[in-house]
Structures are given as C-alpha cells and as structure tokens.
Amino acid sequence: MGRLFGTDGVRGLANREVTAELALDLSVAAAHVLADAGAFAGHRPSAVVGRDGRASGEFLEAAVVAGLASAGVDVHLVGVVPTPAVAYLTAAMDADLGVMLSASHNPMPDNGIKFFARGGHKLDDAIEGAIEDRLGEPWERPIAESVGRIHASPYAVQMYEHHLLSTVPQRLDGLTVVVDCANGAASGIAREVYSAAGANVIAINAEPDGWNINRDCGSTHLKPLMAAVREHGADAGIAHDGDADRCLAVDASGEVVDGDHILAILAASMSEAGALVGGTVVATVMANLGFKIAMDSAGIEVVQTAVGDRYVLEAMRADGFVLGGEQSGHIVMTDHATTGDGMLTGLHLLARMAQTGRSLGDLSAAVTKFPQVLINVRDVDLSRLADAPGVAAAVAAAEVELADRGRVLLRPSGTEPVVRVMVEASTQAQASTVAESIAAAVRAELALD
C-alpha cells in the first residue's frame, strides 16, 4: 500500500479516495494503535470529533464515529469547528484522540481526515505508519458496556472561543476589520470572536451551504476581501481558509499582507515583549529573502525547515521555540496553541495594530519582498537530480549572478515527477530569466524518455 498520510493527514476526493469505509477503518486502526501504545491505560478512552462544513463531512463524520465507538472509544461530537478548535478541545477535554474532517483550503469535492494525539498534538510519522499497517486487520470487538458512547458537545466551541479571547494582549476597540470566512468553519464564530475582542466586524463569505466552501473566496482567493476592505474603508482585512487554520491579511489600501509579513510583525512584537524564546522564529525554505533580511535587521534569528507546517512544528518543539509559520498563512504560536490557528493569528495581528497605533501597511513595510518566480518542471527523473552536473552548473552560475541580492531553491516534489525551481532576485525580470535558465537545464538533463 502506498502511504496514505501526507504532511497534513489523509486527503483526497471525497467518496472516491476518502470514503466512508476508509474513515471507519482508519478510526478503528487508530484506536487500536493508541491502545497498544498505552494511551488508554487505566481509563475509558475518549475522542473529540469535528468537521468543516463540506457536505461529505456529514457521512465521513458518521463513519469515524461508528469506527471509534465500535472500538470502545467514547466520542464527543463538537460539530462544525475550525481544525485548531479540535486540537485545543482534545487537550481541554482531556481526550485521548482528536479527529478533524477537513481538506482545509482544497476545493469542496475533496475532504480529509486528520488525527491529533492526547494534548492536541499531530501524530508523528511512526504512529501514522502503524495506523496504515493495521488497516483491515481482524480484531475482537468489544460488547455490552465496553462499546463507546456518543455525546453531542454543542458548548465545546464556546470553550475554544473563550480560549482565543483570553490570549489577546490588547483590545481591538476602534478597529474596523473585514473577515473573509471562506464559507468554512470560521463562519459560525469569527464575527462573534473578533467583535468580543472589540473590533467592528464586517463578515463576508460567511454563509456556508455545504457546497461553497473555499469557492472564489478565503485565503486562496483574496480579491473579494481586497474589494471589501476598500469599499468599507476598513483598517484591515483578515482571510481564513475552509478550516480556519490559515490567516492572510489585507491592509487599508487593499495590499496583501502574507504569512511572511505576519510572521515578521508577530516576531517583532514578541521580541519587544521578551517573549520570543531564543530570539528565534521558525520559517520554511520558501520564506522570502526579504523576510530573512528584515529579521536580521531586527536581531532575530531565523531557523528554516522543509515546506509544511508539520516540519515547522517539529523544529519548534525540538528547541522550545514559540513562533513559526509559512508564507501561506499557517502561523504557529505554541504559547497558545499546538497547531496553526488562523483566528488566533488574526487576533494577535490586529492587537499589534491597536497596541502600536500603526496601520497594517506600516507594520508590514518592515519586510520588503524580493520578486519571486516559481517554475514547476514536469516529467523529469527525480532520481538523477542529485547527480546532474549540468543542473548543478546552472545553479552555481545563478548563485554567482545573484550574490547576496537573491537566492535559488531547487527541490523535488514529494508527490509527482516535478522539480520545483524557485528564484528570488532584485527585479522580476532577473528572477524570471534566472529561473528559466535553470529550468531549461533541468529539462535538458533530466527529461523522461
């Protein structure tokens, strides 16, 4: 069997790749693996189960609940909530397992299954591998009082809301903000949370119907938010994705403030407060060079990881760092959360504006982004990339040309025969020219026959 788990759970086309049968089997296998690892020792096991608003989440939720309960796990159903809410509630409700049904920013036809261990932490690779290995195995089913019970927990989301508000260092009174909920999991609570923090809130794309999640809205489609900010004369716009674990922003003039900008703003704020452990922020290799230069200027060290928020989290946990994130808007603040949390990020970003009295455009100007070009070179032999002299020579020539005013990142895709060529340079024209020259070398030397 090929590996089911990607960098963020199991994800695919709902009812074709992510089926009710798979959801049930994964839940049973997860219960068995955690039980054998001693996670349930001495007590009756429990799990928190939530989902985003996709129509397919309804039947997948039923399958997950059936699997867990049949394996002897009590289930707390928390309904349609953000992914970080499930992570938080898994810890707050002292559950042994959390399960979130969502494909995050993916289109509506997709769905996914993500597991959290006790404490609300993502499962490590070894546990995920063990779950896959035990799919469909014969097992002795519990009976009578040993089967799991299912409890609706409609007030659990209020625990999450109270938690978010308890972290905000400065009220947002006087700020007008447009919040794009992506017709997703934030739709039911975003207006209430940001308003309770003091902001005047205009919510858009907050009418989910099961089909419209992420459709031309949210963090992957910022034009509606940009237009709404200008129309309402708002101080800022906040964009979440379908499961609200991302946050991107728009300033008062309608300019995009991406994850690099947000991470820099929060890093400066935490450094000023003496709360940035090790004076360090964690980012991926895709972070713009302008972000690194801004952090160097502020005396903040940057640790870089592979692409994926799980790798950011691993680096943070390994060395006790408290802030990390990605350009896409996954921001992790481990003083308050075990995973990326879009509303937590949005609240703290707006709080920095309120605290300093500065506009979002002014705060984000600390990072001057270098023009970036990304080319995906398809149908190539990835196995030969590490030993391709022509490609190596092209990269070396590019690095000499760019010197300290640009950079090259060449990496293979983990899911398809694609080499990703990313170049940053002082001008868009130079970035494009250099990227095309490297891509041409990759095609010439590694093209599949």
Rounded Cα distance between 402 and 373, Å, is 14
Neighbouring-strand partners of residue 378: 418
Return the axis-axis angle of helices 342-356 and 83-92, rounded to nearest 10°. 100
Residue among 191, 186, 195 nearest 168 (CA): 195
* Residue showing tokens 């640009």: 406
Rounded Cα distance between 389 and 377, Å, is 17
Question: Taking the CB of residue 38, how many other CB atoms lie within 10 A of it?
Answer: 8
Rounded Cα distance between 253 and 233, Å, is 9
Which residues participate in catalysis according to the annotation? 104
Residue 405 token pair? 């005013």
Residue among 94, 101, 103, 59 nearest 80 (CA): 101
Residue 109 token pair? 């036809």
Radius of gyration of the chain (CA): 23
* Residues contacting residue 240 through CB under 8 Å, at least 6 positions apart: 82, 179, 180, 181, 182, 184, 186, 190, 218, 219, 246, 247, 342, 343, 346
